[in-house]
A and B are shown apart, each in its own frame.
Chain A
């Protein structure tokens, strides 16, 4: 259940016309790289990376409609449930493994990050920052946050593991994951000052050890 909805996150959380996060991801990926995009939605990101960086690779998607959209736009896509891990993929067989806007909806959060680190030389993880001031405001006012980035009601949300930037920094430290680079954006603007308060979307470029 959670997964079916989770895979819509890519397309519903963002205004497709404006993808600052795509530009940042592209900046972290080398020309001609081999990329695996987990929870790839309709394949928009992979299409963007193919056209801008001539990347090769695959998307992983569980939802039937998204899967079909990938095929229609020429994206290689493997239909499987990320919760079961990445056993179909060999160690270090990708330059970059991406988990865009999906971490918060995963049940096996630790496992998927470890699996990504196993399969990719580098990984990119992006998630909505729960510490963003607008979310905090809504909680202060007594309600669960609902926004463009978190467009669900408490009772129908696929998001089961929401976290803040501080939480994720600690997660990386605890799991001995190196943060190569971190960018935080709000409405397409990069946030450098008090990112855990002013940042809406957190983007991490990570590697093992």
Chain B
């Protein structure tokens, strides 16, 4: 039983005694002292990345799979930190022994992206030169920068080539970027519920989310840490907006409809279940996520556009790609619609690359990529089973 509640986190009720669970896991941190040149022109003199691994790296080091997270995800992909943990990792339904991404076969790496707020260098981490949180000083990072930083992690782990790079949504953009920037280092790319760039509508949603955060009086131009406060109201609204777009109208209707919380009160407190859900999700997120990270993640989404330097020709942008692809979209996903995935597929076909494309009939909108749907998981299982390691 999986209750999905966002594009980055979900609650599973699977027990720790579940034999398909990876069990107890621990996060690790890798430190990098070589400067990282960012796309913006800025240089990050040093950084660290939080990561987790599941399964065992084989002797040939040929069975590594990296999972790239989406907007609000992190390195805790599967398993639990303690038996008492209520929640497992955000993609626990996919990753584990005998699960579609089988940790008996693969060595799986999850990491927290640069600029994140779960243990990797980011706006809320301490700037070694000032001994204070970076805050607004933390540079803008892009999908391209993330992929470069991810290669550093791969080098650190002594792995040359990935059997597969996997990501949904913003994670799918990273998987695509891996295949473009490091064609020799990735054998398979699984790009799920993603797009080759954001539409104007998507950028618009991101801008509203950012405005909600930046106009919160507690934001203090990004340096709220010094004021011992958090722009919770802004972050909460940003997350509520996000949730609306991750679900389909049908899924929302089915889940909440016009159900009332209680009898009508004729006021502005929660009247409908829908409102209750949004407020709960908003509050929860605002209590645990960093606003500066949210700003940067949405910006990374906005900026990514590999076709830009090729006059909008995505096929030209993919001319050096060698990886084999599985592209998956979901019929009710209007934020990263099937049409956007088909653009990626077309560019791959134009380059005569090995690609399969599935358009999964699902009612849950963009969130569907995190859910345990029988056919969707059968697709991933079948594809991953055929990967030779």
Enumerate chain A interface residues (CB-CB to B < 8 A): 34, 56, 58, 64, 67-68, 70-72, 74, 76-80, 88-90, 93
Contact = CB atoms under 8 A, between A and B. Distances in A.
Nearest to B342: A88
Given A80-B342, A93-B349, 19 more contacts: A58-B355, A64-B375, A68-B379, A68-B382, A70-B356, A71-B356, A72-B382, A72-B385, A72-B386, A74-B386, A76-B354, A76-B356, A78-B345, A80-B359, A88-B342, A88-B346, A88-B349, A89-B349, A93-B350
Interface string B356-389: 1111010000000000000100110011011000
A35 B167 CA distance: 30
A71 B383 contact: yes
Contacts of A93: 349-350
Contacts of B357: 77-80
B389 to A, nearest CB: 16
Contacts of A67: 358, 379
B352 interface: yes
Given A71-B379, A78-B345, A88-B342, A34 B352 contact: yes
Given A78-B345, A78-B357, A79-B358, A71 B386 contact: yes
Contacts of A80: 342, 357, 359
A68 B345 contact: no
Contacts of B386: 71-72, 74
Contacts of B345: 78, 88
A70 B358 CA distance: 11
Contacts of B342: 80, 88
Nearest to B375: A64
Contacts of A77: 356-357
Interface residues of B, number: 20
B14 to A, nearest CB: 24
Interface string B80-118: 000000000000000000000000000000000000000
**B-side binding surface: helix, strand, loop or mixed?**
helix
Contacts of A58: 349, 355
Nearest to B378: A68
Contacts, number: 48
12 contacts: A67-B358, A67-B379, A68-B378, A71-B379, A71-B382, A72-B385, A72-B386, A76-B355, A78-B356, A88-B346, A88-B349, A93-B349
A58 B379 CA distance: 17
Given A64-B361, A71-B356, A77-B356, A90 B375 contact: no
B97 to A, nearest CB: 21
Contacts of B352: 34, 56
**Interface centre among B345, B346, B352, B357, by most A CB within 10 Å?**
B357
A79 B359 contact: yes
- Would you list the 7 A-B pairs with minimal beta carbon distance, nearest first? A71-B382, A78-B357, A88-B346, A79-B359, A72-B382, A79-B358, A77-B356
A7 to B, nearest CB: 14
Nearest to B327: A78
A97 to B, nearest CB: 13
A58 B355 CA distance: 8
B378 to A, nearest CB: 6
A90 B385 CA distance: 31
A89 to B, nearest CB: 6
Contacts of B358: 67, 79
B356 A68 contact: no
Contacts of B382: 68, 71-72
